Structure 1
């Protein structure tokens, strides 16, 4: 299982949101390059970087900075936020990003994203679907988590038949940044329904047992943010737990 330590960029600094709310921001680092270098020094192979300004604005805002980070530090980067066109994807890949995360458009414009998967290859794109509970349904949250999709999670995934996509990142917005543990039941159901997808879990990781729990229900990767920033465990210990 791959551990993805996270950097969420807002106004050029590292922050975390609570429950996906842009009015509930905790600022952690003024120097994302130093943070990313520390991830690499600790032994991380990957990092997950989000352009929160881009996600909120609906257009690329910090892709230049993300490209600079990719060029400067020897670590593979998975990155998204504000990706709205094939040109955005190409620009990030050209800048050195290893895998581009496509969020809202993966739900709202699947035909477009399917064409990107065909053009760039399924290993260069991650479909990111952020979900909120609506009774017994899981509904994708769009445009920086400010709008709800017209379809549920399962209908959204059905638009990507087996073989078209490879990487899927699912965030339970209700747990994001809350340190309440990942939603293992949801992860298990996704893995059961779509074992063809390499599932990345996001939202709620608070301790090392959460990593082993996510792996036990089929996750191939886990995004870790606030727990690292607040010293719940070291990145070295988290990497050891993920690779065990």
Structure 2
């Protein structure tokens, strides 16, 4: 399993939100380039960057920053937030970004997402599905978690068989350091064995990484636990590798 450190960006600052609530923001750094360098030094191969301004607006806000960081980053970048068109995706890929995350668009315009998969290939795109558990069923939320879709995670995963990389976030656990949803990870891995699952939400300890690794996740997205010093990025990288 890979550890993928996360950097959430608002106005170019590295922040974390509790359960996606912009009113519950903690600022950790004003220098994302330095953070990427530190993650590379720790042994991480990829970092996950989120344009929270773009996610909230539904259109690019910090994609220029993504392009600049991609030009100098010592590790691969997976970027998310506000991507709606092929032109937006092509621009950051051409700038050196390794993979672009597509979320709400896949639900709102599945044909457009399918066209992106055809143009860029399954290795360059990650499908992000953010879920709330409702009576044991993971239901997908959209628009920065502000709206429900009335679609289940499993329904959406089945709709896009060409997808290779999927990032699933349990919204209730994100930024809460309450432990990951291991049961959900196990179910996804069992039902969709061909997917490379990136599990997100809740990691607080190295033991949590052990659980995700043993559950079959291909990667764990970790933000707050690293930023708040629950464990170092280097410790997380080594634990994820087993």
Q: TM-score range by the shorter chain?
A: over 0.9
Question: Alpha-carbon deviations, 1:87-116, whole Å to 9, x = none?
Answer: 111011011100001011122222211111
Cross-structure match for 2:220:
222
Please give the secondary structure, in 2, of the residue aligned with 1:174.
helix
Aligned residues of 2:83 and 2:102 also touching (Cα < 8 A): yes
Q: CA deviation at 1:232?
A: 0.6
- Aligned residue runs from structure 1 range 1-244, under 5 A: 1-161=1-161, 164-244=162-242
- Which residues of structure 2 form unaligned runs of 5+? none
Aligned residues of 1:108 and 1:149 also touching (Cα < 8 A): no
Determine the C-alpha separation between the residues in 1 that align with 2:21 and 2:191.
29
Aligned residues of 1:107 and 1:140 also touching (Cα < 8 A): no
If the length of structure 2 is used for normalisation, what is the TM-score? 0.97
Determine the C-alpha separation between the residues in 2 that align with 1:239 and 1:2.
7
Determine the C-alpha separation between the residues in 2 that align with 1:227 and 1:63.
26
Determine the C-alpha separation between the residues in 2 that align with 1:219 and 1:181.
15
CA RMSD of aligned residues (A): 0.9
Determine the C-alpha separation between the residues in 1 that align with 2:211 and 2:107.
27
Question: Alpha-carbon deviations, 1:3-52, whole Å to 9, x = none?
Answer: 11010001110000101112211111111111111111222111000000
Determine the C-alpha separation between the residues in 2 that align with 1:144 and 1:185.
24
Determine the C-alpha separation between the residues in 1 that align with 2:177 and 2:65.
28
Determine the C-alpha separation between the residues in 1 that align with 2:226 and 2:131.
23
Determine the C-alpha separation between the residues in 2 that align with 1:203 and 1:27.
18
Tell me the number of residue pairs that the alignment of Structure 1 and Structure 2 aligns.
242
Determine the C-alpha separation between the residues in 1 that align with 2:170 and 2:182.
10
Question: Alpha-carbon deviations, 1:31-87, whole Å to 9, x = none?
Answer: 111111111122211100000000000001101101111111211001110001111
Determine the C-alpha separation between the residues in 1 that align with 2:206 and 2:108.
35
Aligned residues of 2:36 and 2:74 also touching (Cα < 8 A): no
- Which residues of structure 1 form unaligned runs of 5+? none
Q: Which aligned segments of 4 or more residues in structure 1 are displaced greater than 3 angstroms?
A: none
Q: CA deviation at 1:189?
A: 0.7
Determine the C-alpha separation between the residues in 1 that align with 2:139 and 2:43.
36
If the length of structure 1 is used for normalisation, what is the TM-score? 0.97
Aligned residues of 1:106 and 1:129 also touching (Cα < 8 A): no
Aligned residues of 1:107 and 1:129 also touching (Cα < 8 A): no
Aligned residues of 1:205 and 1:227 also touching (Cα < 8 A): yes
Determine the C-alpha separation between the residues in 1 that align with 2:88 and 2:23.
26
